[in-house]
């Protein structure tokens, strides 16, 4: 990809990179060493359509078990065609190939909301906070039912419509396995509250300490990820980082903070990150199942680990912590008797 397309990472990060290199603070490299590569649990969703109830229930149990033990799993035979993925990748490459100066004015040529385009962490104060990536962060209201013949919007709409149904299906299964035949997710996680994120991770020539995306948990109920075969996604399990082996036939599902709170800690929102690649660019698309800002998150079991909170309150606390501390604290802020200070 032409360098004119890339964000000005080197210029924005020069002081921090030079400081780290000159001080030889390369002990941070140890944090990027991966103990092993693994394949996440793979679940065949076509089993949910089986006439045999035992087969259906076993599939649901596997989804719940993976959400408890891993917080991550993969689904195959999910109903989204390879043709949609191919078109999505093609359109994604096109939009990221545009000159950087045009991307920062993205609302003029993509029909996305102003501010949708984001890159790196320009406000980083230490090398641990750097992210060598760019993204379009798109509310579904920007593309669902949009008029016109924009191939990017129409392709995203087709993908989003299908993946939204998948997210609702998985959320309902996880609620059912907690003993709740709940309509909570259908009522609160609507198209106008969910969003997509188109990600690109350019090759990174810096050999020390820079993430493609810094370690974090997701502030939603569920995330559904479509990624290419370059790899780079890692999750933190059993006190070590594990590299997720790409599976070309699978979508990756992970539990977000809100589902951990709603399930009273039964389902796990697991820290994850993306590491950089010195030669290859990586693409992914993430769908986030989110409620409205007014939605109150309350544990479905007693005694509850977390106090009640609105999604607005949660997002504001995350923003405050990132601004003051450089990183997200997340759910520990909302444990009972912990407070928010």
Which member of 282, 301, 319, 333 is catalytic?
A: 282
Active site residue 282: yes
Q: How far apart are CA 310 and CA 98, in angstroms?
A: 38
82: Cβ–Cβ under 8 A, 6 or more apart, which residues?
none
Q: Rounded to a whole number, what is the distance in angstroms from the first to the last CA of the chain?
A: 45
Helix 151-176 and helix 82-97, axial crossing angle in degrees, nearest 10 = 130
Question: What are the Cα distances from residue 234, in Å, to 40, 139, 147, 215, 328?
Answer: 11, 26, 38, 9, 18
206, 296 contact by CB (below 8 A): no
Name residue 241's beta-bridge partners. Answer: 236
Angle at 169 between CA 164 and CA 171, to 5 degrees: 95
Q: List phi, psi (to 5°) of 298.
A: -135, 130
Say if strands 309-310 and 296-297 run parallel, antiparallel, or are unpaired: antiparallel
If you search the block for the tokens 């941070």, which residue do you land on? Answer: 28
Q: List phi, psi (to 5°) of 22.
A: -70, -35
298, 264 contact by CB (below 8 A): no
Q: How far apart are CA 130 and CA 134, in angstroms?
A: 12
Q: List the catalytic residues.
A: 282
């Amino acid at each position: 990809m032409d360098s004119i397309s890339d964000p000005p990472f080197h210029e924005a990060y020069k002081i921090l990179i030079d400081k780290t290199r000159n001080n030889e603070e390369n002990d941070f490299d140890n944090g990027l060493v991966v103990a092993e590569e693994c394949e996440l649990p793979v679940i065949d969703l076509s089993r949910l359509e089986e006439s045999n109830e035992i087969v259906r229930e076993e599939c649901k149990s596997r989804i719940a078990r993976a959400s408890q033990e891993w917080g991550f799993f993969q689904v195959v035979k999910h109903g989204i065609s390879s043709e949609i993925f191919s078109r999505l990748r093609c359109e994604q490459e096109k939009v990221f190939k545009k000159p950087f100066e045009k991307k920062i004015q993205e609302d003029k040529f993509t029909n996305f909301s102003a501010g949708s385009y984001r890159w790196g962490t320009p406000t980083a104060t230490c090398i641990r906070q750097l992210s060598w990536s760019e993204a379009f962060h798109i509310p579904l209201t920007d593309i669902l039912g949009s008029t016109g013949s924009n191939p990017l919007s129409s392709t995203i709409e087709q993908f989003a419509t299908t993946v939204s149904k998948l997210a609702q299906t998985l959320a309902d299964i996880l609620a059912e396995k907690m003993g709740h035949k709940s309509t909570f997710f259908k009522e609160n996680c609507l198209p106008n509250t969910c969003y997509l994120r188109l990600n690109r991770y350019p090759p990174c020539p810096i050999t020390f300490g820079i993430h493609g995306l810094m370690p974090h948990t997701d502030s939603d109920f569920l995330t559904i990820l479509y990624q290419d075969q370059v790899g780079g996604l890692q999750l933190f399990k059993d006190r070590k980082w594990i590299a997720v082996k790409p599976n070309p036939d699978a979508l990756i599902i992970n539990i977000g903070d809100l589902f951990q709170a709603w399930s009273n800690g039964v389902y796990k929102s697991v820290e994850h990150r993306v590491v950089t690649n010195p030669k290859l660019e990586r693409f992914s698309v993430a769908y986030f199942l989110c409620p409205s800002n007014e939605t109150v998150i309350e544990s479905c079991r007693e005694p509850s680990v977390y106090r009640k909170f609105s999604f607005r309150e949660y997002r504001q606390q995350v923003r405050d912590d990132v601004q003051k501390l450089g990183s997200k604290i997340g759910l520990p802020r909302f444990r009972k008797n912990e407070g928010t200070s």
